[in-house]
Amino acid sequence: MRFMVMHKLDENTPELWSPDEAFIARMGAFMGEANQAGVLLAGEGLRPSSVDAGRITVTGGKTTVTDGPFAETKELIAGFALLQVRDKAEAMQWAQRFTDIFIAAGADVEVDVRRVTEWEDLAPPA
């Protein structure tokens, strides 16, 4: 099973978007461990919406394109990891360890853990 682990940060707290060396070292060690365990398929941090960001919204058939920053959005996805694990419980264990990095830095974070829809999930029952 694949799970996407996404963390959100408050865009109005710029220091969270510029982590210190200790945070980077802890995150690097965690990502290295997840990679070594064979569960990390991909993982990246994202820049704030003020840096090279855009949003496309379609409402009632009308398309609106907006450049960042997104003033109306307080919390944005700040990074993600795509994990290949046995089940949701294992995904949640990795996500909890991920949040521990933020706790050690004294930062608040919200992490969503969502299962990826596979093509097999969309196939009609036989």
Neighbours of 13 (CB within 10 A): 12
Helix, strand, coil percent content, the chain, rounded in steps of 5: 35, 35, 35
Q: For residue 39, give the H/E element and its range.
A: none
Q: The pTM is what?
A: 0.84
Task: Give the model confidence (pLDDT) of 80-121 as tens digits.
Answer: 999 999 999 999 999 999 999 989 888 888 999 999 998 888
* Separation CA 82–CA 92 (nearest Å): 12
| Three-state secondary-structure class, residue 103 | helix
Task: Give the model confidence (pLDDT) of 15-67 as tens digits.
Answer: 777 888 999 999 999 999 999 999 999 999 988 888 888 889 899 999 989 88
Report the pLDDT value the prediction gives residue 19, as an integer from 0 to 100: 86
Query: Are residues 55 and 70 in contact, defined by beta-carbon separation less than 8 angstroms?
Result: yes
Report the pLDDT value the prediction gives residue 33, as an integer from 0 to 100: 96
Greater confidence, 2 or 66? 2
Report the pLDDT value the prediction gives residue 97, as an integer from 0 to 100: 95
* Residue among 99, 81, 4, 100 nearest 35 (CA): 81
Pairing of strands 40-45, 75-84: antiparallel
Going by the DSSP 8-state scheme, the letter that residue 125 receives in this structure is P
| Confidence check: pLDDT of 3 > 90 | yes
